[in-house]
């Protein structure tokens, strides 16, 4: 496959090539705009250094309970279970992920527009933003499978056509995330380096990769080196915790071998100045619920949204 001349981050290649330093800033706000937001300079430095931040008790218990009630209703909704955006565990009917979660109810949509979140998004991305992707990841007790080590940007770049590293994920825990139920694990500092991956992307790769990603993951040699150099951190915390992580930081999670289920919300914000182009792997674009191309207008913040209200 020929590499595009406008591709700053080549991947899905025929043969291995060395990793290299990212070509984009980690924090896109500059000068006075950098300090014009809710994140302190210390938090910005931590994000720039590690690629993620964790805040406990972002949502209170009552609000979390309302979201969990919504999710239980979705599990019994046949139209959602049959939707293409609902991914089940390999060989089973247990839900693994539901995509487009902010389009299922006003409550989820209001949360994506919460000023507390959007002010941080604007501070990190240096621009207005829109929802690139939203999802809920489930890990039922004993049966929830893991997610292989990966950079989200690698897939968004190759299969969605996201040109530059100017996106950020906000994950909110709807259950306690403890060391035993498969919490998010991150390799600090890896967002600063681009690790090209090997392998041609088949059409509709998402239909299998969302169940078990094998393409677009670093080599074991690269993983061994990056983990030995940087270590691994687990994002554990109580229900209502918020995890902010940069689009290129390496992350994954183990299977849930405990009796305690784990559910996390994910909202991916992309800069309005970084809208999707043609996929860099050369295939047709993935569906909108994975890479939004339709509703890319800037999100308008909502002051103190009522997240307990029905809907």
On whether residue 154 sits in a domain, the answer given is: yes
Residue 215, pLDDT score: 83
Residue 253, pLDDT score: 94
Residue 81, pLDDT score: 79
Q: What is the pLDDT of residues 96-143, one digit of tens each?
A: 888 999 998 888 999 999 999 999 999 999 999 999 999 998 888 998
Q: What is the pLDDT along the chain (311 residues), one digit of tens a residue?
A: 455 678 999 999 999 999 999 999 999 999 999 999 999 999 999 999 999 999 999 999 999 999 988 888 887 888 887 888 888 766 666 778 889 999 988 889 999 999 999 999 999 999 999 999 999 988 889 988 888 999 999 999 999 999 999 999 999 999 999 999 999 999 999 999 999 999 999 898 887 777 778 888 999 999 999 999 999 999 999 999 999 999 999 999 999 999 999 999 999 999 999 999 999 999 999 999 999 999 999 999 999 887 766 55
Residue 204, pLDDT score: 85
Contacts of 80 (CB under 8 A, 6+ apart): 74, 86, 98, 104
On whether residue 19 sits in a domain, the answer given is: yes
Residue 87, pLDDT score: 81
On whether residue 284 sits in a domain, the answer given is: yes
Residue among 222, 269, 278 at smallest CA distance from 245? 269
On whether residue 203 sits in a domain, the answer given is: yes
Residue 4, pLDDT score: 65
Residue 91, pLDDT score: 60
Residue 1, pLDDT score: 46
Residue among 108, 112, 32, 115 at smallest CA distance from 74? 108
The domain containing residue 174 runs over which residues? Answer: 10-33+93-99+113-237+244-305
On whether residue 48 sits in a domain, the answer given is: no
Number of domains in the chain: 1
Q: What is the CATH number of the domain that holds 219?
A: 2.60.120.620
Residue 292, pLDDT score: 97
On whether residue 273 sits in a domain, the answer given is: yes
On whether residue 218 sits in a domain, the answer given is: yes
On whether residue 80 sits in a domain, the answer given is: no
């Amino acid at each position: 496959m020929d590499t595009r001349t406008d591709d700053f981050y080549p991947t899905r290649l025929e043969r291995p090539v060395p990793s290299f330093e990212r070509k984009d800033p980690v924090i896109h706000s500059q000068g006075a705009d950098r300090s014009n937001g809710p994140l302190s300079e210390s938090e910005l430095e931590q994000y720039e250094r590690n690629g993620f931040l964790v805040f406990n008790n972002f949502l209170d218990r009552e609000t979390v309970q309302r979201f969990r009630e919504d999710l239980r209703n979705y599990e019994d909704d046949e139209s959602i279970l049959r939707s293409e955006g609902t991914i089940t565990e390999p060989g089973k009917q247990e839900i693994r992920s539901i995509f487009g979660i902010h389009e299922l109810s006003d409550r989820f949509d209001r949360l994506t527009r919460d000023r507390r979140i959007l002010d941080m998004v604007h501070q990190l991305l240096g621009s207005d933003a829109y929802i690139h992707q939203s999802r809920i990841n489930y890990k039922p007790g004993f049966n929830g499978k893991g997610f292989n080590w990966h950079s989200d940007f690698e897939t968004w770049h190759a299969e969605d056509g996201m040109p530059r590293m100017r996106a950020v994920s906000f994950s909110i825990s709807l259950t306690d995330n403890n060391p035993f139920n498969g919490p998010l694990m991150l390799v600090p500092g890896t967002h600063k380096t681009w690790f090209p991956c090997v392998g041609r992307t088949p059409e509709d790769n998402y239909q299998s990769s969302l169940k078990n990603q094998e393409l677009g993951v670093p080599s074991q040699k690269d993983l061994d080196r990056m983990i030995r150099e940087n270590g691994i951190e687990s994002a554990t915390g109580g229900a209502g915790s918020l995890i902010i992580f940069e689009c290129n930081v390496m992350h994954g999670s183990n299977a849930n071998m405990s009796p305690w289920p784990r559910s996390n919300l994910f909202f991916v914000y992309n800069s309005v100045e970084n809208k999707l182009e043609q996929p860099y792997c050369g295939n047709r674009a993935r569906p909108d619920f994975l890479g939004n191309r339709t509703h890319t207008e800037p999100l308008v913040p909502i002051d103190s949204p009522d997240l307990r209200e029905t809907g």
